[in-house]
Amino acid sequence: MAVVAVGCHRAPAHRRPITVVVAADAGHLRLVRRGLQSVREPDVELTLADPPSRLRVAAAEGDVERRLAAARRSYVDGGFDGCLDSVGTSGLVERLLGEERRALAARVLFWRIACQVGQGQPERARQDARAFATFGLAIPPDAGGTTPEVEAVLADGITEVGRADRATLWVDANLPGAASFDGGGAACRVPCAVDLPPGDHVVRVAADGAVPEARRVRLGAGGARIRLELARAGPDLAGRQWSARYGASGELDSRASLRLLAQALAAPRLVLMTTERLRSRIRLRGSLALRGDVAAQAERKVQLGELAGSSSALVVDLLERGRVVARPLWSSTLFWLAVGATATLAAGVTALILWEPNIDSTLYFAD
């Protein structure tokens, strides 16, 4: 399925810019675009733009992988100071957990523990082992190259944390988003509460159209509360969110998708059009969102040869229903019904005026 956006650039002051996003296969896309080019509404302007795209984080992951490779080499060579220089960066594990890169966080923390054991810092190693268990991390696949002492420190930390009673962490945010803990997937919708082992945790709240916020919080035996403030996402981030969540899904014309797509394209007036192949026809669907709220929706089942003309008519219909453009009075069905009723009434009145009753004017005289 190809996606093309017909986006809004600066239009003349008297014309309203409209963004139209078309989701269709290549054949349908060509016909729908042809139909869009035939729209001749004097009050609006349609222009082409690129659809949102998802950016990758491979470069950032590559940096952490290089750190891990350097740490393993230093460990094998007995250079434990160099090993810690590679993976001992303050806040690195918490940052990875806040970005939900849990597997990388586990490897960094594991090799930090191994380097501390090799360097003769048992207390720091035990502290990180307890953190490893508190975060609920899994021992990474590349752990086989370490010594039994490292395994023993980790085992003790896991046992100690496992024996502790859980405490309650209450999470709230300024937006209705999903909360995750220690780099795991979404665990609950805020506001919510979860029971976790006492210790430090990384709480992350994410919502469509907002910048995810992550924070480290210390959970004591009596519990803790945290509230995160999420900022509005810019177009680039909103575009990546839309592409990742809705771009290849069956929820393109859902309210949440339209709202996020409008934010990504900075489009106060957005039309989304989709096509679906039926047995012998094509389902053409359209949705109009004004400032993120759905204002009108319409659907037509057409033949392939009718797709271009139906596409332009559907866009105009949506704009009229959403009152983006005015519908001419003479094009309204109600107008013609009213005209018909008026004509019928006028004809009746005329007939009444012109009607001459048949009056018997014969005179009768009494004898």
User: For the segment 227-275, what is each residue's pLDDT rounded down to a tens digit?
Assistant: 999 999 999 999 999 998 998 888 889 999 999 999 999 999 999 999 9
User: What's the average model confidence in pLDDT over 28-43?
Assistant: 89
Query: Which amino acid, residue 209?
Result: G
Q: What is the predicted pLDDT for the residue at 3?
A: 54
Q: In the chain, where are the structural domains located?
A: 2-49+242-321, 58-163, 167-228
Q: 9 and 17 in contact (C-beta within 8 Å)? A: yes
Distance of CA 172 to CAs 46, 211, 224, 225, 347, Å?
A: 41, 15, 12, 8, 70
Give residue 334's pLDDT band: very low, low, confident or very high (50, 70, 90).
very low
Dmax over Cα atoms in the chain, in whole Å?
152
User: What's the average model confidence in pLDDT over 154-183?
Assistant: 96
Q: 202 and 183 in contact (C-beta within 8 Å)? A: yes
Task: Give the DSSP H or E segment for 125.
Answer: helix 122-134
CB contact set of 69 (below 8 Å; sequence gap of 6+): none
Give residue 15's pLDDT band: very low, low, confident or very high (50, 70, 90).
confident
Whole-angstrom Cα distance, residue 212 to residue 178? 10
Q: What is the predicted pLDDT for the residue at 251?
A: 87
What's the CATH number for 167-228?
2.60.40.1120
Q: Options 1.10.287, 3.30.1120, 1.25.40, 1.10.3430; which CATH number does 58-163 get?
A: 1.25.40
Q: Which CATH superfamily is domain 2-49+242-321 in?
A: TolB, N-terminal domain (3.40.50.10070)
Does position 203 have pLDDT exceeding 50, yes or no? yes
CB contact set of 77 (below 8 Å; sequence gap of 6+): none
Least confident of 39-53, 75-89, 92-106, 344-358: 344-358
Q: What is the predicted pLDDT for the residue at 340?
A: 57
Residue 141: DSSP 8-state? G
DSSP bridge partners of 188:
179
| pTM for this prediction | 0.77
User: What's the average model confidence in pLDDT over 186-204?
Assistant: 95
Tokens for 88, please give them.
């001992």
| Helical pair 80-87 and 102-119, crossing angle rounded to 10 deg | 150
Q: 219 and 201 in contact (C-beta within 8 Å)? A: yes
